[in-house]
Amino acid sequence: MTIRVFLQRAGKSSIRRIAVLLVCVLALGGCDRGTPLTLVKAVAAGVPALDPFFDENSGLGKDAQVASRPVRGSLQQGDTPGLYGGSKQPTVCDVDRLEEFLTDPRNDQKAQAWARALTISTDRIPNYLDRLTPVLLRHDTLVKNHDYKKGKAVPYDSLLQAGIAILIDAQGRPAVKCSCGNPLRPFAGDTNRISVRFEDGNQEWKGYDRSSVVAVRPAPRPLDKIALVDVEDTERGINRPVGTSGAKDATFDTREKRAVPNLAGATFGQSRRSLTDKGLAAGYAGDGLPPDDARVTATDPPAGTELGFGQYVMLSVAGDSGSSDGSTTTPPPTTTAPPQSSTPEPSTPEPSTPGSDSGNVSPPSSAPPSSGPPPGTSPPPSSGSPSPPPSSSPPATSSPPAVTTPPPLTTSTAPPPPVTTSAPPETTSSAPPPPQTTSAPATSSAPATSEPPTSAPASGEPTESATV
């Protein structure tokens, strides 16, 4: 009643505004339940930064024009073959000049802010720079960038266009944007939940593709060299020793074929390292990297296929890295399986393997027997409703289903009426049988704490695999 009076007093325009407000609240509430979008500022190649650490007109670094390449997975580790590019021009980034600038006492405030952004001390700047390697991005790459404002390094998430020259560390992580000297750190957000903003002269570049954006994770081990692709001649590969600027480069032919190894059964971590050592990239489908201990079930293309340097091999991994040994057993039908000849143990059966449905473990009360009793034994007949046998005796079984012809059985009930099954007559006499034969209370005579071992599948359902 209160709501009705309120709506009558409010005008139509007020009601519309309230409706719009409710829709917005509900929409925002739905978004809040997931991961919020991360605002990312686009940084185009060749466009000067508004608040750089280093004067970009002094030639510290030079970007190139490189078309972003497609990827197979938005998270790439720093040692992925072909992740970065190089050039015959070894001076895409003048590391010596950057070191001179940051160690100059006149630039001490900038040096302190720069070092703090990279979590090092100012006295370690020369040693840190000596271990960095200049490369060119081949993908639009997400990073944590930094501007220099009011004596401090101000962090912000940014998307660097392919072709931008950067320095990377010994694990392949972006560390410095060459043209302005701004420190870089790994992007920590969700790569699938970003909102890219193009502003301040950074217009959306040709070939921008949201699905080709990557973030770099550190390689699992420090590198001795970085395998690059010449951005001007993709048939030329460059092996660049870590901490050098190009003077010690060695070249190789990227067209040389490399066979995909047989990785079925190996872990994802082992498979990725094996591919990296061969000059191939590990691809996956999904929002995040699979765990290193996930078991690989298949590759695309399959083992033996020959690929060029840096090409992707898609890895499919088991959905439960839990540790299926690969063997699966189909559970027997619960209504048509013939009785077994072995004598079941009265103890509780082994638990089913992880992944099996607990609803499939206990058969219904009308399920056929899993095994027959030992020959020559006869539990005493009951005079009414049957009673369970002693706990030291094997569990009694029910009358065989009408669709089977089991061997002679000895049960705790009187022989069934002649119209029910073709089973031979029982060897013992007892009180008149119950009026119905299909519901002989055999299952209730089994110990309450156990089920016949053969009624549960030997293992869980086959482990499903997911493509990663």
Cβ–Cβ < 8 Å for 218, 78 = yes
Assess whether the previous peptide bond of 346 is cis (omega < 30° from 0). Answer: no
CA 257 to CA 151: how far, in whole Å?
Answer: 52
Q: What is the pLDDT of residues 256-289, one digit of tens each?
A: 999 999 999 999 999 999 999 999 999 998 777 8
- CA torsion 251-256-261-266 (nearest 10°) is 30
Question: Does residue 226 sit in helix, strand or coil?
Answer: strand
pLDDT (0 to 100) of residue 63: 93
Q: In the prediction, which pLDDT does 52 show? A: 94
**Angle at 362 (CA atoms; ends 359, 367), nearest 5 degrees:** 120
Residues in Cβ contact with 92 at an 8 Å cutoff, skipping those fewer than 6 apart: 61, 62, 64, 134, 135, 136, 165, 178, 246
- Residues 80-137: tens digit of each pLDDT: 999 999 987 766 899 999 999 999 999 999 999 999 999 999 999 999 999 999 999 9
The DSSP result for 365-379, as a single string, is TTPPPSBPPPTT--P
**Looking only at Cα atoms, what is the longest distance across the chain?**
111
Task: List CB contacts of 155: < 8 A, sequence separation 6 or more.
Answer: 117, 144, 145, 146, 185
| pLDDT given for residue 414 in this prediction | 44
Q: Kindly state the tokens that stand for 10.
A: 């409010």
Which residues does 32 contact at the CB level (< 8 Å), separation at least 6?
A: none
Q: 154 φ, ψ to 5°?
A: -100, 115
- Rounded Cα distance between 349 and 444, Å, is 17
Helices of type H across 33-107: 95-103
Rounded CA separation 266/259 (Å): 17
Report d(CA 425, CA 436) in Å as an integer: 17
For residue range 123-178, what is the model confidence (pLDDT) as tens digits?
999 999 999 999 999 999 999 999 999 999 999 999 999 999 999 999 999 999 99
13, containing H or E segment? helix 12-32
CB 213 within 8 A of CB 74: yes
pLDDT of residue 90: 60
In the predicted model, residues of the chain with pLDDT beneath 70 are 1-35, 90-91, 320-468
